[in-house]
Chain A
Amino acid sequence: MDILVCMKQVPDTETKIVINPEGTGIVTDGIKYVMNPYDEFAVEEALKIKEKMGGTVTIVSMGPQRATEAIRTALAMGADKGVHLCDDAFEGADSYSTAKALAAAIKPLSYDIILGGKQAVDHDNAQVYAALAELLDISHVSIVTQLDVAEDGKSAVAQREVEGGAREVIEVSLPAFIACQKGLNEPRYASLPGIMKAKKKPIDVIDLAKSGLSADEVGEKGAKLKIRKFFLPPEREAGKILEGEPEELATQLVKLLREEAKAI
């Protein structure tokens, strides 16, 4: 199986978001960047498929220079090689122009299945996998919590999380994009030998020229959805602290929720 994993480097979930004075973006100083948590499930699943069926795992990522670190992390977990879409022209992309660039990098590659997180936890668009699948003319299954690839590698059965904890069982012909959700697996940590080996694994850097796309199709210029303003939500004020014995607290709270907050 030739397995691709689409991965994005994002600010750690501990990050406090600060908006720049112009309202055009967030302040990036001091941010610690990590592999998108949902993409960790995708890398792990790719490695599990490779362990069972053989093949290669290739990490495909679009991002600035620093994204190399996240690619190296995936290589240290056990992926074989990386493809890094890196060019100023790719900056400021929306889901559509991101998918466009990824599709250009992926089309020349041989692939039987593509995995990725169900969304990146920075912009939370949760669109790139579906748009990419559409541009590659393959199916996708989203929010996947269980995956079984058929022995012949031609199809897969995926469980997809829907409302209220229910799951849909979907049979899909491959290649397809599988968008991974927490619960699919437990991502492994990179071992020390893994980290050493990762340093020597190849990362193919693709700039605008190599992608074969024009500057108008990618990044901010190619974006269909434009962000015109960033702002912070209103701060929540701390409310009342209730005091007393548990019995009093319970009585007081229920009364307040009914009469003051009108929430029950």
Chain B
Amino acid sequence: MPQGIWVIAEQKEGKLKKVTLEMLSKAREMGQEVTALLLGSGVEGLAADLGQYGADKVLVFDAEVLKDYSTDAYTKVICDAVKEGDPSVLLGPATASGKDFLPKVAARLGTGLASDCTDLSMEDGKLVATRPMYAGKCLVETVVPDATPQMASIRPNVLAVGDPDASKSAEVVKKDVNVTDADLKAVLKEVIKGASEKVDLTEATIIVSGGRAMKDADNFKILWDLADALGSGTTVGASRAAVDSGYATHDMQVGQTGKVVNPNLYIACGISGAIQHLAGMRTSKVIVAINKDPEAPIFQKADYGLVGDLFKIVPLLTEEVKKLKAQD
């Protein structure tokens, strides 16, 4: 009978991503053996951390072929391991790579995958996953009643990370990696760095976002200045109106045809609050809206509304934040 919860760890350049710890923290609440799968090259050192955050066992797949992310290689390694180990639940991150290989893994295994989940629970050994649809305008509870492993991908930044237990260590099992060049139909040629080295919108703790009222791409500089003052974990987003007007690049777009985000703090500057935009940022913990128009719908969703000229207010905010940070 299939048993145990498997968690596919995500690491980048030798560091575990926070979503990995979020998944482990949730998994260890579920009262079953937790196994972490660690894929990469030269990553075995991360196994100890995985143990402290909740893994009872770590399967390490360490090979040069896994140095860079590859759809085909990850799918093969994970499917082979699942066929051998027969877990009841398989969790992975809803990140750029996780969203890429998890549906392929689910199809190869002939099982169900709940994607981009915001909560999980266990009922009589069955995984119940909560996930948004329509960019978060509604939610659904899903189950995989007749197939295993029951799969779910977990949206970063939603689940809480428990405290590490320094006394706990996982059993580390090194596994063979049976991937050959013939398995790779799609090959990574290079990585083009983004314009900024900022954290991704979906993983940011603070987002400063600009709308149509920014009037110009150059004016986004005042948002970047505020983001810089707020520190690491902060990035800049944009509304669809701003992207379509050419003020910001599409990878910055928040909303139903952009990214759904859930930072601790979302500062909407000159964004009126169209339904598509609100859907994409409504799960932010604290929302600030700065807008000239007191009737803008965004104020209905904001914890703090500032009616006024963003071009005056935002630079002043930056100065205030700098003062505050200087005192810390």
B-binding residues in A (CB < 8 A): 11, 13-17, 19, 26, 37-38, 94-96, 99, 121-135, 138-143, 145, 157, 159-173, 176, 181-183, 223-233, 236, 238-243, 246-247, 249-251, 253-254, 256-258, 261, 263-264
> In the complex, A169 Cα to B191 Cα: how many Å?
6
- A-B pairs with lowest CB-CB distance, top 4: A165-B194, A224-B112, A225-B112, A127-B103
Query: With contacts A122-B134, A170-B189, A241-B306 known, what are 6 further pairs, Cβ within 8 A?
Result: A11-B134, A121-B135, A165-B195, A182-B258, A238-B302, A254-B320
Cross-chain contact A230 with B139 (CB below 8 angstroms) = yes
Chain B neighbourhood of A225, CB < 8 A = 112-114, 142-144
> In the complex, A133 Cα to B108 Cα: how many Å?
10
Chain A neighbourhood of B249, CB < 8 A = 165, 183
Chain A neighbourhood of B101, CB < 8 A = 130
Cross-chain contact A253 with B304 (CB below 8 angstroms) = yes
> In the complex, A131 Cα to B71 Cα: how many Å?
12
B179-208 contacts to A (CB < 8 Å): 185-200, 202-203, 206
Cross-chain contact A236 with B282 (CB below 8 angstroms) = yes
Among A121, A129, A162, point to the contact of B134 (Cβ < 8 A): A121
Q: What number of B residues sit within 8 Å (CB to CB) of A?
A: 101
Cross-chain contact A127 with B140 (CB below 8 angstroms) = no
Dominant secondary structure at the B interface: mixed
Is B312 an interface position by the 8 A CB rule? yes
Chain A neighbourhood of B252, CB < 8 A = 165
Chain A neighbourhood of B188, CB < 8 A = 168-170
| With A143-B96, A164-B199: A249-B306 Cβ-Cβ less than 8 Å | yes
Cross-chain contact A233 with B283 (CB below 8 angstroms) = yes
Is B176 an interface position by the 8 A CB rule? no
A-binding residues in B (CB < 8 A): 69, 71-72, 75, 95-97, 99-104, 106-108, 110-116, 128, 131-147, 185-200, 202-203, 206, 230, 235, 243, 249-253, 256-258, 264-265, 275-276, 282-283, 285-288, 294, 299-309, 312-313, 316-317, 319-321, 324
Chain A neighbourhood of B264, CB < 8 A = 263
Among A169, A230, A242, point to the contact of B140 (Cβ < 8 A): A230
Chain A neighbourhood of B103, CB < 8 A = 95, 125-131
Among B69, B144, B309, B321, point to the contact of A246 (Cβ < 8 A): B309
| With A165-B251, A166-B194, A241-B299: A249-B308 Cβ-Cβ less than 8 Å | yes
B202 CB to closest chain A CB (Å) equals 8
| With A131-B107, A163-B200, A164-B200: A233-B195 Cβ-Cβ less than 8 Å | no
The residue of chain B having its C-beta at the shortest distance from the C-beta of A131 within the complex is B107
> In the complex, A264 Cα to B208 Cα: how many Å?
13
Chain B neighbourhood of A129, CB < 8 A = 103
Among B142, B199, B202, B294, point to the contact of A226 (Cβ < 8 A): B142
> In the complex, A133 Cα to B144 Cα: how many Å?
22
Chain A neighbourhood of B112, CB < 8 A = 94, 96, 223-226
Cross-chain contact B113 with A95 (CB below 8 angstroms) = yes
Among B186, B194, B195, point to the contact of A141 (Cβ < 8 A): B186
Cross-chain contact A264 with B230 (CB below 8 angstroms) = yes
B300 CB to closest chain A CB (Å) equals 5
> In the complex, A11 Cα to B189 Cα: how many Å?
38
Cross-chain contact B146 with A16 (CB below 8 angstroms) = no
| With A239-B304, A250-B313: A176-B185 Cβ-Cβ less than 8 Å | yes
| With A124-B132, A135-B107: A171-B317 Cβ-Cβ less than 8 Å | no
Cross-chain contact B301 with A236 (CB below 8 angstroms) = yes
Among B135, B199, B321, point to the contact of A264 (Cβ < 8 A): B321
| With A130-B100, A250-B317: A170-B187 Cβ-Cβ less than 8 Å | yes
Which of A15, A129, A163 counts the most chain B CB atoms within 10 A?
A: A163
Cross-chain contact B265 with A264 (CB below 8 angstroms) = yes
A167 CB to closest chain B CB (Å) equals 5
> In the complex, A263 Cα to B207 Cα: how many Å?
11
Chain A neighbourhood of B104, CB < 8 A = 130-131, 133-134, 140
Cross-chain contact A182 with B253 (CB below 8 angstroms) = yes
